[in-house]
Chain A
């Protein structure tokens, strides 16, 4: 039986851009859920990042816009300089609060609020990165009954983030990057 999931939340840091390319290039064009990525890029211009990703992605890629709802079959990237949250009304919200563990946007903040807003029906994915952001958030996603997917640390460009996520949250699926898109297609595309 398929677990009901409303949204796919993704977190990555160092090496993340390349990982997102691979992930987004492998998704089925009929993918029925919104995918929302928080990626620490250090760059101010997320619109450029979206353009780059859109070249290889099978689905449209946009910056997450305040007060709009993530739509099925679309990919969103968090703007830089703000924390991204999901409201109970299902719309994106931003906050300029202080950095959480040196990061803004913080993957933990995004995972926690997405999972709370969706009543737990979130699939969280942690990819390559050099810090432990996302580990606590992934644990919250699992506690609330969501699905946790972690890139196999030995397969990641930088293994710190996926290793921290595994230690804090464990995972329902731990696998190499190349197999994550096929897994998502299997889990969520009819």
Chain B
């Protein structure tokens, strides 16, 4: 029998340790990219081997947030894939407008770029005052950053281009204050956002959402965890509610995919199918 390589074994033990000691279960994360993140974490924390990291994270609770932050991939943009936001603006929001109160769940919110993109869309559609956005992530560090709404000024140009390509009605600069090399999102955009820690692996339904946005999160999950989360989304959506995934995500291997009908297959915008 072929002997598994030592890193493979170390990785397995690391995953076990995080689960047993800290309740974070990465057992159903896609291994190829997870392994890369663990290796990057070693450098960041100054450990030689995964075994050393495991020993430290078992004993040192203060290290945990750093580990979770390192395993999370809080890479995002405002209005990333502008065509998706244009479609939401043109076709999904008009349908949501018929509800007296709108709940939107953004799962895996990273540093909040998409939360504020949504808030702007809703503001411009005249719907924001009757909308509640729940922005969740499993990394406390990410949520804290999202709550601040502060981004490097060098990102502003890309964000503005995306905003205009998404059909933005004004100038993105109307929604932030630039100071030195930072931009700060207008506090008024935060008025209807609730930030919370929610782990898609183990936490359950907490709201009735009309729209769930979860882009580029399920790509890190195995088929079975992807299926589990799609079931969670199904159970969290109102009848005919909408689900928006990342534009390169493939749910063809998940049984729960049959609960969703693609209203735009290319942009990965789905609607809960009638049961």
Contact = CB atoms under 8 A, between A and B. Distances in A.
Interface in A73-98: 79, 81-83, 85-88, 93-98
Interface stretch (A35-43, A61-69, A152-160): A61-69
Looking at chain B's contact residues, is the secondary structure mostly helix, strand, loop, or mixed?
Answer: loop
Contact of A98 (B32, B75, B220): B75
B250 A65 contact: yes
A97 B36 contact: yes
Interface residues of A, number: 22
B32 A86 contact: yes
Interface residues of B, number: 19
Nearest to B252: A67
B184 interface: no
A93 B33 contact: yes
A4 to B, nearest CB: 15
A98 B31 CA distance: 18
Contacts of B30: 87, 93
A39 B36 CA distance: 21
Looking at chain A's contact residues, is the secondary structure mostly helix, strand, loop, or mixed?
Answer: loop
A109 interface: yes
B273 to A, nearest CB: 21
B17 interface: no
A87 B223 CA distance: 12
B75 A97 contact: yes
Interface in A111-154: 113, 116-117
Interface string A41-76: 000000000000000000000000111100000000
B32 A113 contact: yes
Contact of B216 (A86, A88, A93, A96): A96
B47 to A, nearest CB: 20
A93 B75 contact: no
Contacts of B32: 85-88, 93, 113, 116-117
Interface of A: 65-68, 79, 81-83, 85-88, 93-98, 109, 113, 116-117
Given A65-B248, A66-B249, A96-B76, 17 more contacts: A67-B223, A67-B250, A67-B252, A67-B253, A79-B248, A85-B36, A93-B30, A93-B33, A94-B219, A95-B219, A96-B73, A96-B219, A96-B246, A97-B36, A97-B73, A109-B36, A113-B36
